[in-house]
Structure 1
Amino acid sequence: MSPAPALHEKPVQGKPAPAQTGYTRAVLALGSNLGARNETLSEAVADLVDRPEVRLLAVSPIFQTKAVGGPAGQPDFLNMVISVETSLAPLDLLRHCQSVENKHHRVREVHWGPRTLDVDVVVYG
């Protein structure tokens, strides 16, 4: 497995720091091993920050890993992380992430099975 990529800070012009706005920083991990993986990840980032309550701060490079812990023979995953600031409460952010997964046809039939999109809240606050 490749080491976690560094986030490349992208200045967000015209947006005050989270401490001044009531926004909380969060890190989201995205992965895909089915379908048009690159396209899915790009669209998912756009979908995640399409709400005014979620603002994009930084994006990692995309990296490829073997599927671990699930059924044998799965395609490799493409993975990335993003840093955001959000005014959503933790469970509301999780629900938003799951709605983006659903938009990209995520199904939960096999534990750790292949998926079009996986979005995890890695850090909140």
Structure 2
Amino acid sequence: MNGGYTKAVLALGSNLGERNDTLSEAVADLVDPPEVRLLAVSPVVQTKAVGGPPNQPDFLNMVITVETSLSPHELLDHCQAVENKHHRVREVRWGPRTLDVDIITYGDLRSDDPTLT
């Protein structure tokens, strides 16, 4: 921990709408509160959709590393609020989406909490 901050890795993906703009805006939204600080940003890569309905548009994906004073559940709530701001709908599992934000790591936490997994 760094002064009450925990390093976390967040994965972002988008395969609907203006994907590049959505990812850029989402990064800004994710690190907007003072409780989340941006450490690193990966390049954006284009990938085929895996699973879910057939013939989905390709995804643009990226990963960011942040440090946060939010708890794992608070960080998840924050990520979902950013998804909702970008009109994320959860109609079809692994379906197309304007924005998907996943917490990949949160410090060295290992959890089987169904909300977090």
Structure 1 length-normalised TM: 0.85
What is the distance in 1 between the residues matched to 2:38 and 2:45?
Answer: 19
Q: In the alignment, what sits opposite 2:34?
A: 52
What's the CA shift for 1:50? 0.3
Say if 2:102 is the partner of 1:120.
Answer: yes
SS state at 2:8 partner: strand
SS state at 1:28 partner: strand
Rg comparison, structure with higher value: 1
Q: In the alignment, what sits opposite 2:8?
A: 26
SS state at 1:84 partner: strand
2:21 to 24, 39, 62: 39
Percent identical residues:
80
How big is the alpha-carbon RMSD for the aligned residues of Structure 1 and Structure 2? 0.6
1:18-49 Cα distance to aligned partner (Å, 9 max, x none): 52x11000000000000000000000000000
1:95-125 Cα distance to aligned partner (Å, 9 max, x none): 0000000000000001100000000000001
SS state at 1:105 partner: coil
Q: In the alignment, what sits opposite 1:100?
A: 82
What is the distance in 2 between the residues matched to 1:114 and 1:76?
Answer: 9
SS state at 1:112 partner: coil
Count of residues in Structure 1 that have an aligned counterpart in Structure 2 = 107
Moved over 2 A (4+): none
In structure 1, list runs of 5 or more residues that go unmatched.
Answer: 1-17
Say if 2:45 is the partner of 1:63.
Answer: yes
SS state at 2:74 partner: helix
Matched AA of 1:107: V
SS state at 2:23 partner: helix
